[in-house]
Chains A and B, each alone.
Chain A
């Protein structure tokens, strides 16, 4: 065909000719296969290796097909669909790939909703496949029928219901393309049982490379790059704040080159944590409600604020009318709807930061800003004196969460993946954990989903099998998804579970103490004997409450050949400080409750 092309003939691309394309996955092409097989062929073509799921009536044809694919696709049987989707999230966050999740119709699908919301707000690429009742039963209140598409619309980047198997290859291709491109997010594909069973003429699998109504990356404007560079070059006190966009855009090196050339101090949101090594000389710490003193105070002193791949969440900004009002704002984001959403920008530098950062680096003048960075260090010293030192090195009293982190850092050297749940332990872990590598901090940020930690850690280990995964979880969060110990038992996955038990729902208790006259309303939570629970699941464990045992216990946990559960009894009524109390500006951050 290529040698006899007639010039005048209109060039048409048909499905048939595209089959010759090298990018087409031709396995089984030209044969008759079932919709279920087509789903699994799509996974293989997309490079999926692991699926987290739970079977049920409406997804049985897919599970039946999976029986023949068990050598190519690893299926992790979770204990609850919420555990499945959080594991998918952990997998996606540690590997940078798309997490894949199976659930059945009805309750199976509704159990995914929390994870979808979490993945949506934290921009985690997922493809979830749910079974659905036969197409002819849709809308009849059939057994385990739930309107999954409408329930999940607000919490998915895209969703689609398939009732005809012939649609499956194209829709799966779109699903993976949408999930991983642009600002990533969760996609849900609901497949009616008849489509799973239906045989159709399979023409092969063509990965999706465009959708005409969807522009994953905004076009970078050189004029905005120039304006941004000019602002940075004139700035006396430039300040970089960065989020997960740097990790999702795989722009860690570009980011480092940018701040190093400009001598720019950089602070992170908790989802941006680990994009820049924590001991980098220009890393000035954590932003937000429980972030570091320096970056919060100096946000209101900088003259140019450069936001990279972050979305000015209210936990980062505090009161907006008291947030960086003096600064010119440069906002780098791949999602144009984030620009001007919360904070008005001076220069809207939309685009993929992997592209925009090098353009910006090229135009900025090498600088040092030594005195300005020293201001961060000086305030950091004040924080160390008032908060950090006693948190990390208490001589007497109960074990603190901070000292657990200090010892853990010494033992891991900052090379472990740290997965956290939600609450006080999460803030302490993020404040003090040491990281050398990107994609090492996995936590539920925007949604604040308790119960995220344990299943996400399981997924993280499958996504990065060569790395040590430590799940740090409070005594509240562990009890929300503790059933996933069963998944660990069955798969033998190696996850180190570190429970920081303060016998309270600590973060709520802290707020009740500070803002509700210490009226402790239903925060006193009891725990089972975690070591015995672990033992019941054939996982070894121990519990300590003495400072002298801490290092040895953590060593035992880390060196154990398999999963291990360590419970550390920590101080009951410790508070996380510093804190930007709700309704205050970031520079009104307090270091102790006496300042409230």
Chain B
């Protein structure tokens, strides 16, 4: 079945544009910001957060949501291209939501981030053409599934890296490609808590730098 799928075509110029994630603020002051949000795990909250962006006609470049290190607390990672002034206001609007514990933002310099990409390639091409194998090595790809008809490779990296492998594989019949949202972690050694301290210097919260509620399921109001 996979052989009936036409190889996906990619515009060759996209590779050059792929470096945007490391770009400094553009002339209009916009740059990539990664917003991290800690929330309760509640139906409908994704919509509440999403409409804060859509109401202001701001496009979300990437969005990931999954459980955090604290039990019962979810972590959103949202990437947008905006000015600092706008991203600051957005964070306050997000934090205003009842079920949001904390929202803060980082520039790309302040974080380490990755995206995961999966590539489905016809097995016959891979086995025939040595260059493909070399390409995969060069991009640090790992095989996840190996079948007679196709092989699925996986890479992690920045947008331009995963994009790079697409372009390298395109001539050899890439059957399917998918990329995950960005996940990001703060560079500073104490991570979240350090960032909180910095934020709370300008934000109206307890002087206590640590969020005393994180990790306390018993602090959830119940009857």
Contact A153 B48 (CB under 8 A): yes
Contacts of A203 in B (CB 8 A): 223
Contacts of B206 in A (CB 8 A): 219
Given contacts A178-B98, A218-B205, are A212 and B213 in contact (CB under 8 A)? yes
Contacts of B222 in A (CB 8 A): 15, 170
Contact B223 A206 (CB under 8 A): yes
Given contacts A15-B222, A203-B223, A219-B205, are A213 and B213 in contact (CB under 8 A)? yes
Contacts of A160 in B (CB 8 A): 44
* Given A213-B100, A335-B96, A337-B93, 11 more pairs with CB closer than 8 A: A15-B223, A150-B44, A150-B47, A153-B47, A154-B55, A160-B44, A178-B98, A212-B40, A213-B40, A214-B98, A219-B204
How many A-B pairs have beta carbons closer than 8 Å: the answer is 79
Query: Does chain B have a CB within 8 A of A70?
Result: no
Contacts of B44 in A (CB 8 A): 149-150, 153, 159-161
Most buried by B among A153, A209, A221: A153
In the assembled complex, the Cα of A170 lies from the Cα of B222 at a distance in Å of 6
Contact B223 A212 (CB under 8 A): no
Contacts of B43 in A (CB 8 A): 161
Which residues between 88 and 118 of chain B lie within 8 Å of chain A, taking CB atoms? 88-89, 92-93, 95-96, 98-101
Interface flags for A192-219 (1: CB within 8 Å of B; 0: not) read: 0000000000010110111111110011
Contact B89 A341 (CB under 8 A): yes
Contacts of A218 in B (CB 8 A): 204-205
Contact B47 A212 (CB under 8 A): no
Most buried by A among B44, B218, B219, B220: B44
Residue positions of B touching A, CB distance < 8 A: 39-40, 43-44, 47-48, 51, 55, 88-89, 92-93, 95-96, 98-101, 203-207, 213, 216, 218-223
Query: Does chain B have a CB within 8 A of A158?
Result: yes
In the assembled complex, the Cα of A58 lies from the Cα of B93 at a distance in Å of 34
Interface flags for A325-364 (1: CB within 8 Å of B; 0: not) read: 0000000000111001100000010110000000000000
Contact A219 B207 (CB under 8 A): yes
Contacts of B220 in A (CB 8 A): 211-212
Which residues between 211 and 248 of chain A lie within 8 Å of chain B, taking CB atoms? 211-215, 218-219, 221
- Find B204's partner among A153, A173, A350 (CB 8 Å cutoff): A350
Contacts of A219 in B (CB 8 A): 204-207
Query: Does chain B have a CB within 8 A of A477?
Result: no
Given contacts A178-B98, A212-B216, A213-B101, are A170 and B221 in contact (CB under 8 A)? yes
Contact B96 A208 (CB under 8 A): no
Most buried by A among B39, B40, B213, B221: B221
Contact A153 B99 (CB under 8 A): no
Contacts of B47 in A (CB 8 A): 150, 153
Q: List 13 A-B contacts (CB under 8 A).
A: A169-B223, A174-B221, A178-B98, A213-B39, A214-B99, A215-B205, A335-B96, A336-B92, A336-B95, A337-B89, A340-B88, A341-B89, A348-B204
In the assembled complex, the Cα of A178 lies from the Cα of B98 at a distance in Å of 8
Contacts of A157 in B (CB 8 A): 98
Q: Is the interface of A mostly helix, strand, loop or mixed?
A: mixed
Most buried by B among A157, A213, A351: A213
Query: Does chain B have a CB within 8 A of A13?
Result: yes
In the assembled complex, the Cα of A336 lies from the Cα of B218 at a distance in Å of 27
Contacts of B101 in A (CB 8 A): 212-213
Contact B205 A158 (CB under 8 A): no
Q: How far is the CB of A335 from chain B (nearest CB, A)?
A: 7
In the assembled complex, the Cα of A565 lies from the Cα of B100 at a distance in Å of 48
In the assembled complex, the Cα of A161 lies from the Cα of B48 at a distance in Å of 14
Contacts of B100 in A (CB 8 A): 213
Residue positions of A touching B, CB distance < 8 A: 13, 15, 18, 149-150, 153-154, 157-161, 169-170, 173-174, 178, 203, 205-206, 208-215, 218-219, 221, 335-337, 340-341, 348, 350-351
In the assembled complex, the Cα of A15 lies from the Cα of B218 at a distance in Å of 11
In the assembled complex, the Cα of A452 lies from the Cα of B39 at a distance in Å of 36
In the assembled complex, the Cα of A11 lies from the Cα of B55 at a distance in Å of 46
Contacts of A150 in B (CB 8 A): 44, 47
Contact B221 A211 (CB under 8 A): yes
Contact A337 B204 (CB under 8 A): no
In the assembled complex, the Cα of A174 lies from the Cα of B99 at a distance in Å of 12
Contacts of B98 in A (CB 8 A): 157-158, 178, 211, 213-214
Contacts of B93 in A (CB 8 A): 337
Most buried by B among A13, A15, A18, A212: A212
Contact B221 A340 (CB under 8 A): no
Closest 5 CB pairs of A and B: A218-B204, A337-B92, A350-B204, A212-B213, A212-B219
Given contacts A150-B44, A153-B48, are A212 and B204 in contact (CB under 8 A)? no
Contacts of B95 in A (CB 8 A): 336-337
Closest to A183 in B: B96
Q: How far is the CB of A202 from chain B (nearest CB, A)?
A: 10
- Find B96's partner among A206, A337, A350 (CB 8 Å cutoff): A337
Contacts of A173 in B (CB 8 A): 221, 223
In the assembled complex, the Cα of A159 lies from the Cα of B47 at a distance in Å of 12
Q: How far is the CB of A434 from chain B (nearest CB, A)?
A: 36
Q: How far is the CB of B22 from chain A (nearest CB, A)?
A: 29
Closest to A178 in B: B98
In the assembled complex, the Cα of A392 lies from the Cα of B90 at a distance in Å of 46
Closest to B99 in A: A213
In the assembled complex, the Cα of A159 lies from the Cα of B48 at a distance in Å of 10
Contacts of A337 in B (CB 8 A): 89, 92-93, 95-96
Contact A13 B89 (CB under 8 A): no
In the assembled complex, the Cα of A428 lies from the Cα of B143 at a distance in Å of 75
In the assembled complex, the Cα of A150 lies from the Cα of B47 at a distance in Å of 8
In the assembled complex, the Cα of A336 lies from the Cα of B99 at a distance in Å of 16
Contacts of A210 in B (CB 8 A): 219, 221
Given contacts A153-B47, A178-B98, A213-B39, are A351 and B204 in contact (CB under 8 A)? yes
